[in-house]
Copies of this chain bind each other. A is one copy, B any other.
């Protein structure tokens, strides 16, 4: 087992990573203050892992709230089921909410914990690669609104994060690839040697090699923890974690939540950021193609949806949270392994990027 510490003063918390951690109650006990625990999971994950986690919590009064699965349910109506469950079971403000599932469960359970009685304790037990390397670190919680993704939420830190790598054995391969999109992102924004490591291990990762998975998750969490340490509330450097996300969110919004997986949209969005960085002369065409090839080997889409026009992208990006007083800030690559956030670029380069021939770029020689 590896343990990282996210250092945020009095709200610091540990991330434990390893195989079989679900069966280790001693990892949870130090982080549960009261006698009540509410496990929030979904219809897909609960049959696989709820009983095992509940067994590790036999010392507590445990309820579970099982939500429907999927991004389409990341809304107020579903969130309300958590409040209903907590209030019906008379959970008080010393209860601990545990998220057992992927990013959607983590975001909703975390937001419910942030809001229930104005804030109760919260533990993350992420069971998808994406949530293990992304949404379980950094304190972002929230739900979607019909007019925009993650528009309603809170910054709220967990007491602890427990990552059992064995849960990836039941993850569909498409979702494993989606998680790899965020793993590759860390290499691109701040860790060039990790990119090289990924090029050597991407096949092992897709084959669920537990040693490679543990290393990739650990390095990803460490990279994110470092960025989050530096900038908890996303005014500056933290925004680099959104590489590919502005383009990606436009894709997700346009296609409808859940049609593309988040990681798939991020992959195609990051390819657009690579292309724009290349057009600005910041990275070479070879470096751009290196990124594209790695995404392809990870089983990810590198071409935005054919039906999306330039106008569609601009329409969806104008409401993005990264818009400050009407100027569109983008995360781009100054070099491979070094991202920057900027609104200082010719508008024509953005337009050319939106209109580029990604189909041609995807015809790479492996």
Which one of A40-48, A79-87, A96-104 is at the B interface? A79-87
Bound complex: CA of A295 vs CA of B325, how far in Å? 50
- Give the copy number: 2
Given A118-B142, A154-B114, A154-B119: A94 in contact with B324 (beta carbons within 8 A): yes
Contact present for A87 and B147 (CB under 8 Å): yes
Find out whether the CB atom of B116 lies under 8 angstroms from the CB atom of A152: yes
Min CB gap A83→B, angstroms: 6
Closest B residue to A141 by beta carbon equals: B118
- A118 pairs with B155, CB closer than 8 A: yes
A151 touching B34, Cβ below 8 Å: no
Using A142-B118, A325-B35 as known contacts, say yes or no to A318 and B90 having CB atoms under 8 A apart. yes
Least Cβ distance of A63 to chain B in Å? Answer: 14
B-chain residues with CB within 8 Å of residue A319 when the two chains form the complex: 87, 90
**Scoring A residues 146 to 157 as 1 if CB is less than 8 Å from chain B, else 0, what string do you get?**
011011111100
Pick from A90, A119, A152 the residue with the most CB of B within 10 Å. Answer: A152
Task: Report chain B residues within 8 Å CB of A324.
Answer: 92-94
- State the CA gap A347–B92 with chains docked (Å): 20
Q: What are 12 A-to-B residue pairs whose CB atoms are below 8 Å? A: A84-B147, A90-B318, A90-B319, A93-B321, A94-B325, A116-B151, A117-B151, A118-B150, A118-B153, A118-B154, A119-B154, A119-B155
